[in-house]
Chain A
């Protein structure tokens, strides 16, 4: 992360907690059997429960619980017996005028997520709840709620299972917030709990932002909503921190409120003041019974977890002798090609070179590239032995990747990349010196740029097969 963000902003420290809602990848809704599918014609996935029709009753989806437990396990949470509550409030896209959520006894509590640089962000809870329908605001100015003439409601999304993941206020910079969301998304994808697409709304991030002087109590926080990408999350937090600092420095106070991020003007706007604090009248949902995951069920979920991104990065980094948040490790693990790099090493290849090659040349390859690990291993071996220059290796690799494999030695030979022996190279160096006596004189006089002419001449004589580093070494040796 950039240094400037580490620094306090004129002595003010930023404090951020994130509430992330993710839609679970189930076939049906949380409490009814309609399809959980995005992007279909409006009101085609509805049933009495989804619409909150009189007489309808909820029945809990076992798979939603399974996925929520997976998220809890992946976030190092304690998975505990829990209950469902009604959160009562009126809104046209909330069919029953209450949301079935979890309140004082959530499914997952007290976990954490480690950022790539090792920073640990606490996870307070990750609870199950149902999603709302979707309102489209008609008339007025461009789909905005304010000034709209009326709204149309589609309940396909209503009742879709959500897990709300609430972080502790451990985030101190906008960059950390971005990294938290990026890492969380990678974890959700790894455990196949959600497709976590911010642009499609299957992952939604709200930020609780406040500022304070270090060592003093936290400041009044504002909740920032409508942040639709990791990038705008950073922008929104930076803007909001600025806004709060400006207020405080002009002797003003912060009102606890919900604010709306506007992508267009790059500012946050008051949505709803919390002065008339919402009175949700939470009470235990009498139409549902307690959820008590058995120790066996919890153990099975934990046992079935795949190796998570953090662990994969650590594994690759230590094998390659680099740091876990190095660019190569990050991008290779993000692509899921870390197993491949390890396979190349296992096939006798040089893991350092393999890591760089995969990062550079395999961006468009699948998690398991078509190139047999043995081929890439052979290539790195030729490099180590000096039989191929870095430049030559790149060219050979490009062809191997293009063909989905191939014998690097053969390709090198076909390209005429046979390594030239030092004797022949020395002869060419002498030839170049003889051809350009004045350049040689200047070089010996310490004029560095004169070397370029000599090296260039050797390259011409060798039709580019000479190893630049070697030529330089010879020239320096001859200069004495």
Chain B
């Protein structure tokens, strides 16, 4: 980020400087646009960069400041949006041909909240088509590359949003997490990524993958920015019936509380699968929190290992229904045919990629007559077991630590032709979505080939405060180790 080294790098820093009139939003934006010019052709984090709209938004922020008004807590902060969040008049594609060029006639709630807080949207980021994947290789518009190693994946499905922050194209970004789609790419790109409690952030305007699992959350350079972003986008939304009707405590305010007396759980029956370098960083994380005054306790989550099965029946089932609306009638792509039924078939077969079609079929199968009970029905019961196991664990621990990803960023094509191999990337993140709990990935040093490793901090329902206290403590420990003053 040489070209704007002198400018504040974090959202907290940028907003403070812009609100104080020390830095102009337009300069902050231009510095980020310069980074995009310099490296986006290699990284391909974006499906679309809206430079002109961003310049106008930044100018409005500066005008507000000049007029003595406060543009808001994200004044002049360049933010990137995963391309599955509706932005009025701005193409929103889910990285799918079936939505190519579609301009939503409305804004997602999070998009409106960011704008109201003074943030400056710079573009729409790449993803695995309809958020189905863990590498961003399943994008109809080409893969995103990991800024740390262009020969490797950024993770997924929110790979573009993770890469955009890691590459300095935006100070912060938003992703969506259905089975790990924020935390896993955050880990692979060396940034902070948070999946909040289900219902913490409105889903209105988020193009659904699996409605009972999807949550929007932030990517950022540090834990404080993630807290700031969640404070802005969180909260009750009457447009989302599953939105939690509670006021959430400010997370920014709890970061300096430390972890004295916090109970940090180690899952003794955690499924094998993490590479040694990742495992080593996890142990270091436990040590760091112990050193910071936390108590490490052992907990059991016996059903943890069944999460993958439950998830890959529940998520595709919901997706098969959520994606049925892409029928070529009201919006998006249509492949014409002699009758409506033939038009449906032609449109959906041409418009959806292979992985999306595979999951639609899997989900349709799981819900269809004769298989519902054995597939979807049983999966819902396994989901209950997993939830209850976690609830039991959280009687003994305030947070749990696991790897965010079993491995560091892997090379393109590494998972080959076997979908299951890719699905296993989410081994440690999926249970959280099934339970509806919050979890975050915090960069905690490097592993093989000097690539970033993320440690996952998990907490119970609305356990964001404890989770952020632990996340901030891990970050302080890393900064100290690196000799950075926190």
Binding site for B on A (CB under 8 A): 48, 51-60, 86, 88, 90, 92, 95-98, 151, 153, 277, 279, 281, 283, 286-289
Contact = CB atoms under 8 A, between A and B. Distances in A.
A96 B239 contact: no
Given A59-B239, A289-B242, A90 B204 contact: no
Interface residues of B, number: 44
A279 B330 contact: no
B233 to A, nearest CB: 15
Interface stretch (B206-214, B459-467, B475-483): B206-214
Interface stretch (B56-64, B98-106, B417-425): B98-106
Contacts of A283: 317-318, 321, 367, 372, 376
30 contacts: A48-B105, A48-B106, A52-B325, A53-B106, A54-B99, A54-B104, A55-B108, A55-B208, A56-B205, A57-B240, A59-B239, A60-B241, A90-B341, A90-B344, A92-B329, A95-B325, A95-B329, A95-B330, A277-B369, A279-B369, A281-B320, A281-B321, A281-B372, A283-B318, A283-B372, A283-B376, A286-B210, A286-B211, A287-B242, A289-B241
Contacts of B327: 90, 92, 97
Interface string B295-334: 0000000000000000000000110110011110111000
B378 to A, nearest CB: 14
B241 A288 contact: yes
A90 B324 CA distance: 8
Given A88-B321, A97-B325, A286-B318, A57 B203 contact: yes
B364 interface: yes
Interface string B366-394: 01110010001000000000000000000
Contacts of B105: 48, 53
B45 interface: no
Contact of A287 (B99, B211, B317): B211
Nearest to B240: A57
Interface of B: 85-86, 92, 94, 99, 102, 104-106, 108, 203-208, 210-212, 238-242, 317-318, 320-321, 324-327, 329-331, 340-341, 344, 364, 367-369, 372, 376
B325 A55 contact: no
A464 to B, nearest CB: 74
Contacts of A95: 325, 329-330
A53 B203 contact: no
Contact of B325 (A54, A59, A286, A287): A54
Nearest to B326: A54
A288 B340 CA distance: 30
A58 B203 CA distance: 11
A92 B340 contact: yes
B239 A55 contact: no
Contacts of B85: 55
User: For A54, A57, A90, A92, which residue has the most chain B Cβ atoms within 10 angstroms?
Assistant: A54
Given A90-B324, A90-B327, A58 B241 contact: yes
Contacts of A48: 105-106
B206 A281 contact: no
Contact of A55 (B86, B241, B242, B367): B86
Contacts of A98: 321, 324
A285 to B, nearest CB: 8
B325 A96 contact: yes
A283 B106 CA distance: 28
Contacts of A286: 210-212, 242, 318
Nearest to A91: B340
Contacts of A55: 85-86, 104, 106, 108, 204-208
B330 A51 contact: yes
A52 B321 CA distance: 12
Contacts of A54: 86, 92, 94, 99, 102, 104, 207-208, 325-326, 331
A59 B242 CA distance: 9
Contacts of B204: 55-57
A277 B368 CA distance: 12
Shortest Cβ-Cβ A-B pairs, 9 listed: A97-B324, A281-B367, A286-B211, A286-B212, A54-B207, A55-B205, A55-B86, A52-B325, A96-B325
A151 B240 CA distance: 33
Nearest to A287: B211
